[in-house]
């Protein structure tokens, strides 16, 4: 907080860009909504825009529709992608508050946001996004999200404190297990290759981030399929 405030006090910070609650490629690092609330409140105090990258955390991943909904403070801009179309077609959105929109809305062309994507408003992408949103908001999917949250919590309780694990953490439907290592923990840790092959032999694609194994299932995953994932992880914990 002090480091952020020191930057903000210089008065030249335009925006604070963050992955809310979970840093994905950084190693599935998790932090609390309370901390994010404090960070956003500080930025707002100094007039810096809060830009939430909800590409990975959006559309139910953290148990709520968006990760920033766990917070009291609201971001000014949100980046969305992946879950927007369920990954079926490429489509992304950058949403913003009315205040940000109005800052660019003018008859004076010099105030325009001079940017456009090649595929802005692609009709097929939009159709898939609408269909995917219908599915996401359906009662069955909302039930499935909470079912997965509970299953992940139950599994975490079962393996937490295992001697091969440095840490075990969960945010909503995301479960991350950090294997102990005598090398640097993180993306480049070569335990990744052994873990990847081990799981693949059991019919599981888990794609570890270095020594961090994570389970980020599609919401249609069934309980028996989740069991298969958990059995694979328990087998790895017996010794890899």
Count of positions on this chain that bind ligand PLP (CB under 6 A): 7
First to last CA, the chain: 39
Q: Is residue 49 within the footprint of ligand PLP (CB under 6 A)?
A: no
Binder of ligand PLP out of 51, 55, 177, 215 (CB under 6 A): 55
Binders of ligand PLP among residues 214 to 233 (CB under 6 A) are none
What's the full length of the chain, in residues? 240
Mode of pairing for the β-strands spanning 29-30 and 49-53: unpaired
User: Residue 56 CB, nearest distance to ligand PLP (Å)?
Assistant: 4
CB of 192 to ligand PLP, least distance (A): 17
Q: Is 132 in the site for ligand PLP (CB under 6 A)?
A: no
Residue 71 CB neighbour total at 10 angstroms: 23
Q: For residue 238, how many C-alpha atoms fall within 13 Å in the half-sphere facing its CB? A: 7
92 binds ligand PLP (CB under 6 A): yes
Q: DSSP string spanning 9-48?
A: HTT---EEEE-SSEETTTTSEE--HHHHHHHHHHHHHTTP
76 counts as binding ligand PLP under rule CB under 6 A: no
Within positions 138 to 177, which residues make up the interface with ligand PLP, using CB under 6 A? Answer: none
Q: Does 43 bind ligand PLP (CB under 6 A)?
A: no
Among 16, 18, 20, 24, binds ligand PLP (CB under 6 A): 24
Tell me how far apart the alpha carbons of residues 130 and 151 are, in angstroms, rounded to a whole number.
28
Which residue matches tokens 């945010």? 171
Q: Check binding of 86 to ligand PLP (CB under 6 A).
A: no
| Minimum distance, C-beta of residue 136 to ligand PLP, in the bound complex (Å) | 17
């Amino acid at each position: 907080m002090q480091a952020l405030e020191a930057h903000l006090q210089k008065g030249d910070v335009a925006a604070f860009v963050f992955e809310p609650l979970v840093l994905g490629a950084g190693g599935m690092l998790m932090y609390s909504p309370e901390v994010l609330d404090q960070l956003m409140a500080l930025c707002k105090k100094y007039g810096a825009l809060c830009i939430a990258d909800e590409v990975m955390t959006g559309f139910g991943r953290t148990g709520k529709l968006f990760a920033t909904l766990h917070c009291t403070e609201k971001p000014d801009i949100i980046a969305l992608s992946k879950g927007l179309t369920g990954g079926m077609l490429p489509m992304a959105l950058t949403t913003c508050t009315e205040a940000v929109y109005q800052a660019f809305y003018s008859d004076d062309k010099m105030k325009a946001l001079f940017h456009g994507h090649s595929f802005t408003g692609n009709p097929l992408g939009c159709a898939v996004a609408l269909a995917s949103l219908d599915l996401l908001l359906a009662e069955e999917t909302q039930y499935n999200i909470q079912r997965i949250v509970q299953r992940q919590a139950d599994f975490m309780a079962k393996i937490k404190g295992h001697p091969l694990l440095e840490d075990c953490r969960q945010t909503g439907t995301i479960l991350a297990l950090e294997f102990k290592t005598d090398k640097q923990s993180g993306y480049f840790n070569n335990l990744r290759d052994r873990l990847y092959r081990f799981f693949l032999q059991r019919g599981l694609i888990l794609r570890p981030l270095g020594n961090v194994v994570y389970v980020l299932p599609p919401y249609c995953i069934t309980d028996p399929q989740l069991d298969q994932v958990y059995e694979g992880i328990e087998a790895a914990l017996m010794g890899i």
